[in-house]
Structure 1
Amino acid sequence: MSFLDCSCISHTSFENIRVEDHYNTVSYHCLTNEPAACSLSKTPPNDDMTVYSTDISHYQLLSELGRGFCDLSVVSLARHRPTGNLVAVKQTNLDNCTEEQLGVLQNEVLQTRMFHHPNILTSRTVFTSSSKLWVISPLMAYGSAECLVKTYFSDGMSESLIAFILYGVLKGLDYLHRMGYIHRSVKASHILLSGDGRVYLSGLHSLYNMVRDGKRSKVVYDVPEQCSTVLPWLSPELLRQDLHGYDLKSDIYSLGITACELATGRVPFQDMHPTLMLLQKLKGSHCCLLDIHPFPLEGLGLKVSRSGVDSGIGESVAASIIMRTMTGERPQSPAPKNFSVLFHNFVKLCLQHDPEKRPSARSLLTHAFVKQVKRHTKDSFLTLLHPAVPLNNPQVLAKAAQTAAGQDSTTSPDATAGAWEF
């Protein structure tokens, strides 16, 4: 079985994949004549400049973080022995992949070589060992936004944390859209957070390049591979598959669904039968944030915090005091939800049924809901992640070390790891 149309898979040894020799569709000037190795020679600003080796003995696999790509890929927490750095290692058994799946992997490896942006997760080193494809990436210590919601914020994140996450996603989307790519798989499991609070957009296997033969298409008719796993996030026009096609605005709809996912801990349409979901989306059923207003706070300029942390949008200690007073000190579980007008407006713009009415990613970067991010520091957003524990925490690493020493190698060192998807 071949990969990338080359004989780089050996049953006894491995070597680097020469991606430049096989990438024939160069869309933009950002591709350069780089060396044959798949290690990135350029990295985003403020990123670790370490070039990782292609010797599998240099990687100590500590524990499994999650699975992805139709359960064919295993993502593991690993330590790079020569440097001591923690990394994420994704291994995919190519012998178990169909020809279509090999094509998807090929596109992911080749296309991501083009991207150099601080909010796009790209691999550092790609190589093969026997029949396994190894992809080495920086460790995202807080995992995915989905696993954070499932583990720590089951009732939804605070609005400031959501704004911070969506701001990073929008910057990544704006970059991809300007390059002529549609992501087609924007969802919480493809949003990763590093230990220092940076937001990365992953899930690049569904990318579609709108530039063909030097010309940029206005619309696309292609259906993404494994689209059944992302149905709730897909836009009506993509699902419709008619002569009108879809374009970059399809990602904006997916962003709106993701915003609801982060805010409520639930994905709109997820519990519906696919046929009913399709009918609901095609007829333009309005999807929005669902609030519970136990009492009016508009006149006070306050809103109820659901996360226990000040969201920075009209939330204060005074709001919690009023809540305790008016409810007779009774615990609220789950806490009442009262989203800000700005957040409602942001989601409404993203989920417009008519794609022409949806703003672009660049336009949304100027929306008041996400602009509030500029008023906060990195440390304040790390505080908003409390009580989430990063994977590079000493206690978590100690558990991982015990796993690597002889316990079950599939045991996850932390609850956040279970929902990783790359």
Structure 2
Amino acid sequence: MSCLDCFCITRTPVESLGSGKQSETSIHQFLADELSLSWSPPSPGGVEMPVCCSDISHYEFQVELGSGFSDLTSIYLARHTPTGTLVTVKITDLESCSEEHLKILQNEVVLSHFFQHPNIMPLCTVFTAGNWLWAVSPFMTYGSASHLLKTYFPEGMNEALIGNILYGAIEGLNYLHQNGYIHRNVKGSHILISGDGLIFLSGLSRLCSLVNKGQKSKVVYDFPKFSTSLLPWLSPELLRQDLYGYNVKSDIYSVGITACELANGCVPFQNMQRTQMLLQKLQGPTFCPLDVNTFPCGESRMKNSRSGVDSGIGESVLVSSIAHTMTSERLHTPSTTTFSPAFHNLVELCLQQDPEKRPSASSLLTHAFFKQAKDQTKGSLLSLLPPATEHKRTQFLTAGPWNELDCTVPSEEYPDWEF
């Protein structure tokens, strides 16, 4: 269901959010405090930035890709008619946003303006049209890593593809960490792949700064209202909410979970009850890639864990977590995949219970697994991907980009697009 009221938008002017022209209402106040919007940042070098404007009549909507941000944001594939370029347009209903939502939006927009890195998702332009915030970014032909999984690799990706995707994401993550930010939102649907095979880390709405009043802290204690769908990727220390706090190593744990997600074709812990998931994360045993080494020949996947680690909720908790994240059909199908020791080691390092034992993003980039993946890649990432097909315009938004009688397109085909 679309968040857009097209009848309203066609009758509202486009405004800059600059300090010289602020709305009298409180809707735009948070976004106007720190940044003069309707800007076009320079290209970070990773992708050609289309030259876009703040005239809504210049965007011809093709199809709705999905929604997000508590269903306050609709995401569209659109054509910028003056240039003919395909772009992604995120439109957020500011009037329905709470104060917390507005602060998150402000944080994401401001930081997207200042971050310039080939592996961080850029914005072409941001502006308001009435009570709607428009954020235009380059269109990612292959969508997200999660979308790739469900579309082309339902049983999981091969190591070479996993390595290339993770390496690009960690490069972006390392840039954020070096600038004192924790991402707190690393997962497959926030790793995007362009038609040129470039990797971009998105999902900047949950960024948290380690710098407070000019001083860089070792840890932070902030715990915003995370969507329950994000919980499987969050680290034990972040979920624990204790006096020890958490730091950038929390993101490294999320990288480990994402690695399992890409390898297994399913998300660890995804369908577990939240209390059970928390206990599993806090007390172990940790999750791992599922292959023939995880389940020795002749041993049932439903057999109790022999790890000897008491999780506090029974020995079979690891197998239970696996069972909850895989379909019954896959449970009874013996795994034929074999992951390399280097990949297992990478995941094991990332999922260490003690954050101090996890590697930094910069040291993770030098791990043997990535050298191995690079050696396995012939040419470029594109050689590991299916051919990029022309995006089918399954339903046109006729009579111009804003037709009040027909302004939504079913988004079931794209459940994993999160920008």
Q: Aligning the two structures, in what range does the TM-score lie when normalised by the shorter sequence?
A: 0.7 to 0.9
Deviation at 1:67, TM superposition (A): 1.1
Match of 1:411 in 2: 410
Structure 1, unpaired ranges of 5+: 1-8, 23-33, 297-331
Question: Residue 377 of structure 2 contacts residue 383 of structure 2 at CA under 8 Å; is this kept in 1?
Answer: no
SS of residue in 2 equivalent to 1:147:
helix
Query: Aligned equivalents of 1:379 and 1:20: distance in 2?
Result: 50
SS of residue in 1 equivalent to 2:89:
strand
Match of 2:234 in 1: 234
Alignment of 1:202-213 (within 5 A): 202-213=202-213
Match of 2:266 in 1: 266
Question: Residue 290 of structure 2 contacts residue 335 of structure 2 at CA under 8 Å; is this kept in 1?
Answer: no
Question: Residue 184 of structure 1 contacts residue 224 of structure 1 at CA under 8 Å; is this kept in 2?
Answer: no
SS of residue in 2 equivalent to 1:419:
coil
Match of 2:351 in 1: 351
Query: Aligned equivalents of 2:151 and 2:334: distance in 1?
Result: 15
In structure 2, the CA distance between the partners of 1:19 and 1:290, relative to structure 1 (3 Å rule), is: farther
Question: Residue 44 of structure 2 contacts residue 122 of structure 2 at CA under 8 Å; is this kept in 1?
Answer: no
Deviation at 1:37, TM superposition (A): 4.0
Question: Residue 16 of structure 2 contacts residue 38 of structure 2 at CA under 8 Å; is this kept in 1?
Answer: yes
SS of residue in 1 equivalent to 2:91:
strand
Question: Residue 184 of structure 2 contacts residue 206 of structure 2 at CA under 8 Å; is this kept in 1?
Answer: yes
In structure 2, the CA distance between the partners of 1:213 and 1:138, relative to structure 1 (3 Å rule), is: same
Structure 2, unpaired ranges of 5+: 1-8, 23-33, 298-331, 400-405
Q: Write the letter of the residue equivalent to 1:16.
A: S
Q: Write the letter of the residue equivalent to 2:66.
A: G
Q: Write the letter of the residue equivalent to 2:204.
A: L
SS of residue in 1 equivalent to 2:121:
coil
Deviation at 1:258, TM superposition (A): 0.4
Match of 2:417 in 1: 420
SS of residue in 1 equivalent to 2:396:
helix
Deviation at 1:382, TM superposition (A): 1.3
1:173 aligns with 2:191: no
SS of residue in 1 equivalent to 2:284:
coil
**CA deviations over 1:138-164 (Å, ceiling 9, x no partner):** 001100111111121110001100000
Question: Residue 87 of structure 2 contacts residue 136 of structure 2 at CA under 8 Å; is this kept in 1?
Answer: yes
Q: Write the letter of the residue equivalent to 2:13.
A: S
Query: Aligned equivalents of 2:238 and 2:364: distance in 1?
Result: 21
SS of residue in 1 equivalent to 2:78:
strand
Q: TM-score, normalised by structure 1?
A: 0.79
SS of residue in 1 equivalent to 2:15:
coil
Question: Residue 38 of structure 1 contacts residue 126 of structure 1 at CA under 8 Å; is this kept in 2?
Answer: yes
Deviation at 1:21, TM superposition (A): 11
Q: Write the letter of the residue equivalent to 1:410.
A: V
Q: Write the letter of the residue equivalent to 2:357.
A: K
Match of 2:100 in 1: 100
Query: Aligned equivalents of 1:227 and 1:68: distance in 2?
Result: 11
Match of 2:252 in 1: 252
Q: Write the letter of the residue equivalent to 2:278.
A: L
**CA deviations over 1:284-311 (Å, ceiling 9, x no partner):** 3221112125999xxxxxxxxxxxxxxx
Question: Residue 206 of structure 1 contacts residue 225 of structure 1 at CA under 8 Å; is this kept in 2?
Answer: no
Identity over aligned pairs, percent: 54
Match of 1:74 in 2: 74
Question: Residue 167 of structure 1 contacts residue 373 of structure 1 at CA under 8 Å; is this kept in 2?
Answer: no
Query: Aligned equivalents of 1:369 and 1:81: distance in 2?
Result: 44
In structure 2, the CA distance between the partners of 1:380 and 1:18, relative to structure 1 (3 Å rule), is: same
Deviation at 1:40, TM superposition (A): 3.1
Match of 2:364 in 1: 364
Alignment of 1:1-40 (within 5 A): 12-18=12-18, 36-40=36-40
Q: Write the letter of the residue equivalent to 2:385.
A: L
Deviation at 1:404, TM superposition (A): 3.4
In structure 2, the CA distance between the partners of 1:289 and 1:375, relative to structure 1 (3 Å rule), is: closer
Question: Residue 87 of structure 1 contacts residue 137 of structure 1 at CA under 8 Å; is this kept in 2?
Answer: yes
Query: Aligned equivalents of 1:16 and 1:379: distance in 2?
Result: 44
In structure 2, the CA distance between the partners of 1:206 and 1:115, relative to structure 1 (3 Å rule), is: same
Deviation at 1:72, TM superposition (A): 1.4
**CA deviations over 1:123-150 (Å, ceiling 9, x no partner):** 1100111111100000011001111111
Deviation at 1:227, TM superposition (A): 4.3
Query: Aligned equivalents of 1:357 and 1:52: distance in 2?
Result: 45
223-232 or 80-89, which deviates more:
223-232
In structure 2, the CA distance between the partners of 1:12 and 1:145, relative to structure 1 (3 Å rule), is: same
Match of 1:195 in 2: 195
Query: Aligned equivalents of 2:334 and 2:18: distance in 1?
Result: 53
**CA deviations over 1:94-149 (Å, ceiling 9, x no partner):** 12211111111111111221100010002110011111110000001100111111
Alignment of 1:135-150 (within 5 A): 135-150=135-150
In structure 2, the CA distance between the partners of 1:35 and 1:177, relative to structure 1 (3 Å rule), is: closer
Deviation at 1:419, TM superposition (A): 1.3
Alignment of 1:43-192 (within 5 A): 43-192=43-192
CA RMSD after TM alignment:
2.7
1:277 aligns with 2:281: no
Q: Write the letter of the residue equivalent to 1:286.
A: T
Deviation at 1:68, TM superposition (A): 1.1
Q: TM-score, normalised by structure 2?
A: 0.80
Query: Aligned equivalents of 1:21 and 1:199: distance in 2?
Result: 37
Deviation at 1:383, TM superposition (A): 2.6
Question: Residue 403 of structure 1 contacts residue 411 of structure 1 at CA under 8 Å; is this kept in 2?
Answer: no
Query: Aligned equivalents of 2:249 and 2:88: distance in 1?
Result: 31
**CA deviations over 1:47-76 (Å, ceiling 9, x no partner):** 324331000000000001111111211110
**CA deviations over 1:154-177 (Å, ceiling 9, x no partner):** 100011000000000110010000
In structure 2, the CA distance between the partners of 1:187 and 1:35, relative to structure 1 (3 Å rule), is: closer
Deviation at 1:229, TM superposition (A): 2.7
Number of residue pairs matched by the alignment: 359
Question: Residue 107 of structure 1 contacts residue 205 of structure 1 at CA under 8 Å; is this kept in 2?
Answer: yes
Question: Residue 233 of structure 1 contacts residue 258 of structure 1 at CA under 8 Å; is this kept in 2?
Answer: yes
In structure 2, the CA distance between the partners of 1:114 and 1:204, relative to structure 1 (3 Å rule), is: same
SS of residue in 2 equivalent to 1:65:
strand
Deviation at 1:11, TM superposition (A): 6.9
Deviation at 1:372, TM superposition (A): 3.3
Alignment of 1:300-311 (within 5 A): none
